Amino acid sequence: MAQLWEKLRSRLETKRLPEDVDDGLETLEQYHLRWRSVRIIYFTMFLMALGFSIILTGLWPYLNKLDPTAGKEFMGLIVAANPLGQMIFSPIFGWWGNKLGTIRLPLLISLALFTLASGIYSSLELRPDNVKYWMWASRFLIGVSSANIALCRSYLSAATRLTERTHAVSMVSLAQVLGFIIGPGLQAAVTPLGPDGHIWLWGAMHFNMYTAGGWINVLMSLCNFIMFMPGIFEEHKIAAREVMVMQGGTSEKETWKGIKPNYLSAWTLIVAFFVLVFNFVLLETLGTSLTMDMFAWSNEEALWYMGLMMTTAAIVSLVTFVLIEPLCKIFEERFVLIWGGFSLMFLGRAVFIPWGPDPPKLALTYNASAAVNWTENDPRFLGCPQETQEWCSQLPALTLTQFIIGFALTSVGYPIGVTLIQTIFSKVLGPRPQGVWMGWMTGSGCFSRFMGPVFMGFFYTRLGTYWTFGVTSMMMLISMIWLLCSNRLLIPASFDKPNPVELQELNKDGSQLLIPSTTKGTKSISIVPASSSGSS
């Protein structure tokens, strides 16, 4: 087996530098080490997205089991705790990394915190006092640890060449999207464990369908921690050297003077990123409780069916990622973004506006003390709870067909949108370190993931499906129209290239010199006799 692996690795390994990077800036060994570090960053970004999404479909039934009085509005606060911690601490981690000049120590500490917080979440079956606040704290700490995304993006912009940047940013987007989508799929895979699962610590702790997701996070974060140890992860920053050579500068400061990014287009893309992620996170957060309300599914049924849909969505997203590059060779990236990403996301939200003929099945409110010989999965308790959501009896139900169509449109539109926004954003900024700007982009995604669950808790619980999906549809439509109006700005940044130099041969007797002269705004090398060099 070991010999087979060595043969496979030797075949896949690059034997020489690719022609487009064979310019003397790095050796073949440095090239391999640099790309190994970039791939470790890909895995880290995947894990941080997975840490957020893996508990989303199981959060509501888990919270309801631990504390039936918590309510959906508090669930929204728990989901929002992760992006809140990330939004607050992203600038701090970014400053810390800049201060140290290395990302290793901040990343190791953040991964240790991620492991601890995931363990706390999966240990809530111990039922400490105020268990819902412990759950909130565990999700907040996971958000704090995932603030390392700002460091990852900053390193990625420093460790890739201009020709590699688009591919690297696209792969990071893919890693994050897969993390968001695969998480609920893993949750579905552990659903057969049931609500009781395997009992630990003399009946005090359960390894069940709710806690398994947290333990998966613990295992994967320990592996990620090892990846950042010395000898495995080595930092290789090549972007600054490449730009200085390209622009003919003598210092890093001098190279930035020729770069002219369009700040209006950069901020347009940041806002568009907020709207896109907001809509996606809203659906992930709302999906389980929405299906339980509309289709009267039990906890197990909701987790199982949502997991299957999310797994299918992951496959669709992978196919979509493969098609993005061929599409962008036929059409410009900005138009693929608008018509392939935002238009499908808008349709996906609009389809969720209910058109069913009747209201959803109404459910009684479960009260464990009053419900003698009744269980939570009793049909009388399944459906839309009218006592806590007054609109249940007043609005038509969402049909299963609507839900599947809307989910499918989102599965195609979101990968296109999130990939091309970040790709175009990187090109708009031009060949410069993008840590600060990527921090703003990350912050916008954090803010959307914070606001999405809060929005769900207020609009969905109090106002219902018409308001929830009507407002989000308008958000997508307005963003799409704005991108259409400003699409001419979504082009790569311009910068002053070094003036071309023309070289001519010296005479064999060496009686002439090479000195620079300027003709029509370009520098050239002229040949003059040595005796006349002073007058020239």
At residue 238, φ and ψ (nearest 5 deg) are -120, -15
The CA distance from 188 to 287, in Å, is: 14
User: CA 518, CA 532: separation in Å to the nearest integer?
Assistant: 17
Provide the number of structural domains found in the chain: 2
Whether residue 502 lies inside any domain: the answer is: no
* Same domain flag for 233 and 333: no
In 3-state terms, what secondary structure has residue 494? strand
| H or E stretch at 200 | strand 198-200
CB 168, CB 156: distance < 8 Å: yes
Residues 488 and 394 in one domain: yes
Could you give the 3-state DSSP secondary structure of residue 368? coil
Structure tokens at 446: 């954090």
The dihedral sign for the CA sequence 343, 349, 352, 354: negative
C-alpha span between 50 and 278 (Å, rounded)? 17
Question: Which of 190, 221, 254 is the last residue in one of the domains?
Answer: 254
Cross-strand bridge partners of residue 517: 524
Residue 517 domain flag: no
Is the residue at 535 inside a domain?
A: no
Of the residues 254, 279, 306, the one at which a domain ends: 254
Q: How far, in Å, CA of 363 to CA of 360, rounded?
A: 9
Do the domain assignments include residue 167? yes
Three-state secondary-structure class, residue 369: coil
Whether the Cβ atoms of residue 325 and residue 343 lie closer than 8 Å to each other: no
The closest of 44, 170, 125, 116 to 425, measured between CA atoms, is: 170
Q: Encoding tokens for residue 175?
A: 């890693």
Q: Residue 362, SS3?
A: strand
CA–CA separation, 306 vs 361, rounded Å? Answer: 19
Name the helix (H) or strand (E) containing 307.
helix 299-330
Q: Find all residues with CB under 8 Å of 275, minimum gap 6, and list them.
A: 448, 475, 476, 479
Residues 176 and 286 in one domain: no
Verify that 97 and 42 share a domain, yes or no. yes
Clarify whether residues 200 and 264 are in a common domain: no
Q: Contact, 465 vs 397, CB < 8 A?
A: no
Q: For residue 28, how many other CB atoms are within 10 A of its CB?
A: 13
In a domain, 189, yes or no: yes
Single pTM value for the model? 0.69
Is 489 within a domain?
yes
Closest CA to 506 of 526, 524, 522, 523: 526
DSSP string of 235-284, one letter each residue: ----HHHHHHHHHT-SSHHHHHTTEE--HHHHHHHHHHHHHHHHHHHHHH
The residue type at 68: P
In angstroms, what is the C-alpha Rg of the chain?
Answer: 27
3-state secondary structure string, 165-226?
HHHHHHHHHHHHHHHHHHHHHHHHHCHHHCCCCEEECCCCEEECCCCHHHHHHHHHHHHHHH
Tokens of 427: 């090109």
Number of H helices, E strands in the chain: 18, 8
Please report the DSSP string for 52-76 in residue order. HHTTHHHHHHHHHHH-TTSHHHHHH
Pairing outcome for strands 362-363 and 259-260 = unpaired
Same domain assignment for residues 250 and 264: no
349 and 299 part of one domain = yes
User: Strand 384-385 relative to strand 362-363: parallel, antiparallel, unpaired?
Assistant: parallel
User: Per the structure block, which two tokens stand in for 160?
Assistant: 């890739």
**Structural domain contains residue 17:** no
Q: What is the token pair recorded at 459?
A: 């609009």
Strand partners, 524: 517
Divide the 536 residues of the chain into consecutive groups of 10 and give the mean pLDDT of each group.
55 62 73 88 91 79 84 79 84 80 90 93 83 91 88 81 74 80 79 77 71 88 93 81 65 59 84 90 79 83 80 82 82 89 92 82 61 56 79 85 90 88 78 66 80 73 86 92 85 55 42 40 36 36
Per-residue pLDDT at 116:
94
What's the pLDDT score for residue 518? 39
| Residue where a domain stops, chosen among 254, 272, 300 | 254
CB 41 within 8 A of CB 149: no
Could you tell me if 317 and 339 lie in one domain?
yes
Domain co-membership, 242 together with 331: no
Q: Which domain holds residue 381?
A: 259-367+374-493
Which residue do the tokens 């006592």 mark? Answer: 387
Whether 216 and 329 map to the same domain: the answer is no
Classified as helix, coil or strand, 13 is: coil
Shared-domain flag, residues 159 and 242: yes
Separation CA 313–CA 413 (nearest Å) = 11
CATH code of residue 87: 1.20.1250.20
Residues 281 and 393 in one domain: yes
In a domain, 512, yes or no: no
* Best CA proximity match to 435, nearest among 99, 109, 140, 108: 99
